[in-house]
Amino acid sequence: MSESSKRLAQALDELGILAKKSLGQNFLVSDTVIEKIINQVKEFKPEVLIEVGPGPGALTYFLQQMNVPLTVIELDHVIAEYWRGKGLPVLEEDALKLDWNQFYSDKKTVFVSNLPYQISSSIVIDRSMEDYGIEHMVLMFQKEVAQRIRGPAKSEHYGLLSVIAQTFWNTALVSEAGPGDFKPPPRVASRVLSFSRIPTEIKKRPQFLTFVKTAFAQRRKLLKSNLSGLLKQKQLTEEQMVGWLADMGFKETVRAEELSPPQFVELYKKFGFE
């Protein structure tokens, strides 16, 4: 039995609970995966740590040992009380509805989580809409979501999430995690990614998100068709857009999935949204 499995058994015994499917709880028990995550967090030299969904503490156990301020966000009341009893600041709230501004200061903040699968895409987009705050993230995803985050243009995984994540973050693979690395085993494979914030010319991030969403609204449609409403809104013509696309090396029959994230930024700026 792995050391993490032993700690899990002890924590669950103290808690008197089992994993709840409704909360997407699959507890990480691989010493190897945990070590890779913690080593990546240490590499970022955090001054403040935030963990979402600590559960019985596979990561929390080691995050506490870094001796930097750590706040955990936990929706499950029993687990939240458990960590309060251990002396940690706990926010018993939904991470997607929380005001994250309360965490941010001039200190280097690192966000780490074995994310519940159902919130992973949304939380990456939410953090991407902020131009301050979280400097680095180390997050666990369902493998398919991780592939979408890092997918290159023209690939089957490329889409809205790819463009947003790659526009605002440098990402890297930290570790693979198979079903056997969790208790209970999920039905899907997982993958851990690291994120480091990168500078961008985009000031109105929610507006850029809307632009990219509109571009991918109907994947089989031509990009100019998906963006036709925005052309009218900005009093621009289809001919103007076709000219911009030609300057970027594209035919007027181009679809959204063919543009790289930097090309999306370039086209967005042509629309005059900034």
* DSSP secondary structure of 51-117: EE--TT-TTHHHHGGG-S-EEEE---HHHHHHHHHTT--EE-S-TTTS-GGGG-SSS-EEEEEE--G
Give the model confidence (pLDDT) of 6-45 as tens digits: 676 666 656 665 544 444 467 888 999 999 999 999 999 9
What integer pLDDT is reported at residue 219 of this predicted model? Answer: 87
Would the pLDDT of 117 be above 50? yes
Structure tokens given for 204: 């109105």
> 175: helix, coil or strand?
strand
CA distance 67 to 270: 47
Among 216, 203, 196, 220, smallest CA distance to 264 is for 216
What lies within 8 Å, CB to CB, of 34 at 6+ separation is 4, 28, 58, 59, 62
pLDDT at 76: 86
Our CA dihedral for 248, 251, 252, 258, rounded to 10 degrees, sits at: -70
The string of DSSP letters for 118-131 reads GGHHHHHHHHHT-S
* pTM > 0.85: yes or no: yes
Examine residue 261 and say whether the peptide bond preceding it is cis (omega within 30 degrees of 0).
no
* Confidence (pLDDT) at 258: 97
Parallel, antiparallel or unpaired: strands 182-183 and 27-28: antiparallel
**CA–CA distance, 54 with 181 (Å, rounded to integer):** 16
Find the mean pLDDT for residues 136-158.
97
Q: Is the pLDDT of residue 163 over 80?
A: yes
Residues 62-71 have pLDDT tens digits of 999 999 999 9
Residue pair 133/195 in contact by the 8 Å Cβ criterion: no
Binding residue ranges for S-adenosyl-L-methionine: 26, 28, 53, 74, 94, 114
Q: Say how far apart CA 91 and CA 178 lie, in whole Å.
A: 30
> Any idea what DSSP says for residue 255?
-
Q: What mean pLDDT is predicted for residues 85-92?
A: 95
Helix (H, G, I), strand (E, B) or coil at 205: helix
Cis amide leading into 184 (omega within 30): yes
79 closest CA partner among 105, 106, 58, 103? 58
- Which residue ranges are tagged as binding site? 26, 28, 53, 74, 94, 114
Q: Mind listing the pLDDT tens digit for each residue in 237-262? A: 999 999 999 999 999 999 999 999 99
Residue 183 has pLDDT above 80, yes or no: yes
> Do the strands 190-197 and 169-177 form a parallel or antiparallel pair, or are they unpaired?
antiparallel
Q: How far apart are CA 35 and CA 174, in angstroms?
A: 10
Q: Find tokens 């506490």 and name the residue.
A: 64
Question: Domains plus CATH for the chain?
Answer: 3-197 (3.40.50.150), 205-270 (1.10.8.100)
* Token representation of residue 159: 């889409």
Mean pLDDT of all residues in 109-117? 89
Per-residue pLDDT of 217-234, as tens digits, reads 998 899 999 999 999 999
